[in-house]
Amino acid sequence: MLEFHPLKVAAVERIAEDAACLTVEIPSALRDAFAFHAGQYVTVRRMIEGREERRTYSIVTAPGGGVLKLGIRLQLGGRMSGELASTLRPGDLLDVGTPMGRFRTSISADREHSYVAFAAGSGITPILSLATDILAREPRSRFTLIYGNRSISRTMFLEETLGLKNRYIDRFSVHFVMSREPQQTEWLNGRIDGHKIRELARHMPEVSSADEYLICGPGDMVDEVRNAVKTLNDSAPIRFERFAAATPRPVDNRRTAGSRARIGARHHFRGHGRPAPQLRDGAERRVGARCR
Ligand SMILES: Cc1cc2nc3c(=O)[nH]c(=O)nc-3n(C[C@H](O)[C@H](O)[C@H](O)COP(=O)(O)OP(=O)(O)OC[C@H]3O[C@@H](n4cnc5c(N)ncnc54)[C@H](O)[C@@H]3O)c2cc1C
């Protein structure tokens, strides 16, 4: 059953042009309540302008340890993402619900699996948790990540992803697919959709021969990738998490028109008549320690 607890915010750090990593502490008395499986999510509850809002965010970290990390992408006019990424400060309390969700796999040290994961944008969050846990606990398994973004500057958890590659150089590989930043390898340009899966399969045999597939991103991306993977390999399990409905809500232009203004490397978001929230972690994106 979902139970909320006020958890102390330990850090709010900028991790991409328009995304932040939120770290909350789990006191020892709540460790059992907040025990989770890689791939699960928590619900965050907050009063925003007198109205209670709840949103779900996947846990980025692998199970174990005394903190939970969440990766929040700022949405244009979004109530909760703006609030979390811009107004929370270390020491604040945040109502967080106990972990839930079925996007998980049965990790076992005996397995010798080939996993192929497709993540689009903020869909990297549960995939990173799963990859970290699988690689640590299944020493004979391999993990291939295909990670789609518009550009490197919008790529969430880039350092953590590259850190996994350094740590598991023989068992983890990552391929970045960019839709608005051309790369030398032509077939890694574009969006992750059904066509791209078929194209990737021509260059990467594991795309059609994996033992298990993991997919996370917006609803339409998930549906297209699932269908394409099924036609390539109809025997392997396909696990997936949708972050948003396939059909977005109609956009109210009065509220969202011009809702984002770019000032230097910062983004300012305006929405719902509220003051523009800003990412707080300085304008420069630092490569190095963050959100581990
Ligand atoms: C299982 C799960 C896990 C998730 N994990 C993550 C995660 O790890 N990281 C992450 O960043 N997100 C994640 N999400 C998405 C997250 O839950 C929120 O949906 C997201 O942060 C947007 O919330 P918001 O309150 O900022 O935006 P909202 O206020 O819900 O608005 C969303 C969009 O709709 C528009 N909108 C709002 N109201 C209207 C209206 N009346 N008319 C027209 N347009 C409108 C807004 O402008 C905005 O673009 C996850 C979702 C699910 C289901």
Whether residue 87 lies inside any domain: the answer is no
**Which pLDDT does position 125 carry in this prediction?**
98
Q: Which of 14, 57, 252 to mutate to test the pocket of ligand 1 (most atoms within 8 A of CB)?
A: 57
Q: How far is the CA of 130 from the centre of ligand 1 (A)?
A: 22
> Does residue 52 sit in helix, strand or coil?
strand
Largest Cα span, the chain? 56
Q: Which of 55, 61, 100, 122 to mutate to test the pocket of ligand 1 (most atoms within 8 A of CB)?
A: 55
**Which pLDDT does position 244 carry in this prediction?**
80
Ligand 1: nearest atom to the Cα of 101: 1
Whether residue 272 lies inside any domain: the answer is no
| Closest by Cα among 117, 21, 10, 124 to 69 | 21
Q: Name which of 117-126, 169-178, 227-236, 261-270 the model is least confident about.
A: 261-270
Q: How far is the CA of 247 from the centre of ligand 1 (A)?
A: 13
The stretches of 138-218 forming alpha helices (DSSP H) are 158-167, 194-203, 206-209
Whether residue 278 lies inside any domain: the answer is no
Whether residue 119 lies inside any domain: the answer is yes
> Does residue 217 sit in helix, strand or coil?
strand
Domain that holds residue 223: 114-244
The protein residue whose alpha carbon is closest to atom 13 in ligand 1 is 57
User: Residue 1's pLDDT band (boundaries 50, 70, 90)?
Assistant: confident
Between CA 16 and CA 216 the distance in angstroms is: 19
Angle, vertex CA 125, rays to CA 120 and CA 130, nearest 5: 105
> Does residue 258 sit in helix, strand or coil?
coil
Whether residue 264 lies inside any domain: the answer is no
Whether residue 22 lies inside any domain: the answer is no
Check pocket membership of 241 for ligand 1, CB cut-off 6 A. yes
CATH code for position 149 = 3.40.50.80
Domain count, the chain: 1
Whether residue 205 lies inside any domain: the answer is yes
The structure tokens listed for 151 are 């550009």
**Which pLDDT does position 264 carry in this prediction?**
26
Burial grade of 127 (CB within 10 A; 0-12, 13-18, 19 or more): buried
Whether residue 79 lies inside any domain: the answer is no
237-246 residue pLDDT tens: 999 999 986 5
Q: How far is the CA of 124 from the centre of ligand 1 (A)?
A: 16
What is the Cβ-side half-sphere exposure of residue 146, based on CA atoms within 13 angstroms? 26
Contact between 261 and 268 under an 8 Å Cβ cutoff? The reply is yes
Q: Which amino acid is at 39?
A: G
Check pocket membership of 123 for ligand 1, CB cut-off 6 A. no
pTM comes to 0.88
Ligand 1: nearest atom to the Cα of 55: 17
Q: What average pLDDT does the chain have? A: 87
Q: Which of 81, 154, 239, 270 to mutate to test the pocket of ligand 1 (most atoms within 8 A of CB)?
A: 81
Burial grade of 183 (CB within 10 A; 0-12, 13-18, 19 or more): middle
pLDDT for 49 beyond 60: yes
| Closest by Cα among 222, 251, 255, 254 to 238 | 222
Check pocket membership of 58 for ligand 1, CB cut-off 6 A. yes
| Closest by Cα among 65, 192, 8 to 116 | 192
Mean pLDDT of 199-226: 97
